[in-house]
Amino acid sequence: MAIHFELVSPEKLLFSGDVESVVVPGSEGELTVLAGHAPFMSILRPGVVAISEAPGKSQRLFVRGGFADVAPSGLTILAEHAIPLDELDAGLLDADIRDAEEDVADATTDDARRAASEKRDQLRELKAALKI
């Protein structure tokens, strides 16, 4: 039995279709949503959404922030930021983290320091979620 799933970010619709299950990084821990799941809403923590479309066919995306909503019509994730894992490169991620750390050190105002720190922390969360 399938459940309808949509993953949306401000930039675009990343996934829409019927799936067997979805593992969601909720604020209280990971949860697996299957067809017939009880309705609920959860805040997302940075982590990986694992989508099982069919036996042997799956996708994994990193999400940062947002909400997951299970309703009788299916599961919807509204993510602040989402990117497919296969689009990420560990070397580039490490370079981005180093650049962000330099931006924090070079910031001359509190606002600039806060923005740079937030970007650095988000990149570190991504790396931790990917376990690379």
User: How do 57-71 and 40-43 pair as beta strands?
Assistant: antiparallel
The CA distance from 118 to 123, in Å, is 9
Contact 86, 102 (CB under 8 A): no
Query: How much is the pTM?
Result: 0.76
pLDDT tens for the chain, 132 residues: list them.
899 999 999 989 999 999 999 999 998 889 999 999 999 999 998 888 999 998 889 999 988 889 999 999 999 999 998 988 888 778 878 888 999 899 999 999 999 999 889 888 878 877 877 776
Q: Which CATH class is domain 3-86?
A: mainly beta
Backbone angles phi, psi at 56, to 5 degrees: 80, 0
Residue 54 pairs in a beta bridge with 57
Contact 46, 65 (CB under 8 A): yes
